[in-house]
Structure 1
Amino acid sequence: MFDNLKEEVTQIIIDELKNTNDKMQQICDLLQEKVTHYDWVGFYFKNGDKRELKLGPFAGDPTDHTIIPFGKGICGQVAESNENFVVPDVQAQDNYIACSINVKSEIVVPLFKDGENIGQIDIDSNTPDPFTSQDERFLEFVNREVAKIL
């Protein structure tokens, strides 16, 4: 499944008729539609010089969490750790910001540009513990592709 999605992501990235924001939105829509356990897909980016993340393109239900301080929640922790964070059960996390009562698990993978963590892709799932190392490698690939257009 991920191999086919990699091809689709690459095609989105090289489409010269779309702007960067539209490409990221199309990637969010694609992932949410094609991966059954990706119920919410979004990009968060460092908000200028502030120690906070700002929501970018996303697919799924609207969220109140458009700004997340560094260190808060899973996304805020990844902004500081620069490492993938897979949460099999969000209820077991002390530092979790609930977006929806339906969310059971989450994966956040940092997005690097020129060696700097400038943002991340955040996936919420309504399925308990669905994420594997294949998800991590795929999302790392997505972020490398997105970094090319930022």
Structure 2
Amino acid sequence: MTFESLKPQVENIVFNSSLEVNDRLLKICELLETNIPHYNWVGFYFRNGNKEELKLGPYVGEPTDHTIIPFGKGICGQVAVSNQNFVVPDVAAQDNYIACSITVKAEIVIPIFVNGKNIGQIDIDSNTPDPFTENDERFLEFVCTKVSEIL
């Protein structure tokens, strides 16, 4: 399934007001993990109140011990500080990487902005080395923009 064909499905989930926000976020995780072969773990992290840390939100994939991530730590923590997309083709080459699973080879993290403020991110792990392209980045930016409309 192509990114373009997934966009209307993402919109349908986002705007399904009969579901709670967390249920919609989980359905987005399920949609992406099921339909994009190189997405092996898909989840959301959000700023934990006024603390300088991220808290794990809805996700699909292997369970993780990383339910709280301090700003600056790991890829997600770095995105919380930089406000920039972070594509990691090889997690083994990253000094500041928090290993969730030995099977993970690559990661992509895209921030979510509400009213210009970074309030969270979508985090995707892949068991495939260097799988993420500019198309993944643009698609995930679309997802984050849609998600921001319900947060």
SS at match of 2:58: strand
Equivalent positions of 1:1-150 (< 5 A) are 1-150=2-151
Number of corresponding residues? 150
Q: Distance in 1 between matches of 2:47 and 2:60?
A: 19
Structure 2 letter corresponding to 1:106: E
Structure 2 letter corresponding to 1:147: S
Q: Distance in 2 between matches of 1:128 and 1:93?
A: 13
SS at match of 2:76: helix
TM-score by length of 2: 0.99
After superposition, the C-alpha distances for 1:62-96 in whole angstroms (9 at most, x for unaligned) are 10000000000000000000000000000000000
Q: Distance in 1 between matches of 2:15 and 2:107?
A: 29
RMSD value, Cα: 0.4
Q: Distance in 1 between matches of 2:4 and 2:109?
A: 20
Q: Distance in 2 between matches of 1:135 and 1:54?
A: 24
Q: Distance in 1 between matches of 2:81 and 2:18?
A: 35
- Show structure 1 runs of 5+ residues with no match: none
After superposition, the C-alpha distances for 1:99-143 in whole angstroms (9 at most, x for unaligned) are 000000000000000000000000000000000010000000000
- How far the C-alpha of 1:19 sits from its partner, in A, is 1.0
Q: Distance in 2 between matches of 1:17 and 1:72?
A: 36
After superposition, the C-alpha distances for 1:10-55 in whole angstroms (9 at most, x for unaligned) are 0101112111010000000110000000000000000001000000
Residue identity over aligned pairs, in percent, reads 67
Structure 2 letter corresponding to 1:38: Y
SS at match of 2:146: helix
- Show structure 2 runs of 5+ residues with no match: none
Q: Distance in 1 between matches of 2:5 and 2:28?
A: 13
